[in-house]
Structure 1
Amino acid sequence: MPIGDAREMSRSEERQVVVASTVGTLFEWYDFFIYGSLAVFMSAVVFPPDNPTASLLAALGALTAGFVVRPLGAIVFG
């Protein structure tokens, strides 16, 4: 199909797009939820354990970076 040539989607194609995007969004938010829930435990493993406060802030900073960069990824790859 040439670029700019629009065609109407069938009902099943439209449903497939909606289901695929919903499942992808659910997986993405589940990933953020799991990381945020386990940040306390992962901070001691991933970051230096000598300062627990700094390790937790670094883990939460990584989560924040994911939220900040997310719209940029949607623009570039979407």
Structure 2
Amino acid sequence: MSATPDGGESGSRNISIKIGDDFVEDFDRAMKRGQLDGKLPMDMSRSEAIRRLMRKAIDDPSLLAEDEENRQ
């Protein structure tokens, strides 16, 4: 994973990660299912979903505990 400052004064970064196509497709399908079930906003982007997951991990780092069965 790499992080690059966006050059602006907002204090944000562009983060780049490399993951398998199947993993991304599974994530996108899960998001779409959540949107269709009314659990997620229809206009939620993948970036926003990842930001929300990162916020949850900040509040509860145990979410990042390694799970050997689901390791990708």
Normalised TM-score (structure 2): 0.32
Whose strand proportion is higher, 1 or 2?
A: 2
Whose helix proportion is higher, 1 or 2?
A: 1
Max Rg structure: 1
Normalised TM-score (structure 1): 0.30
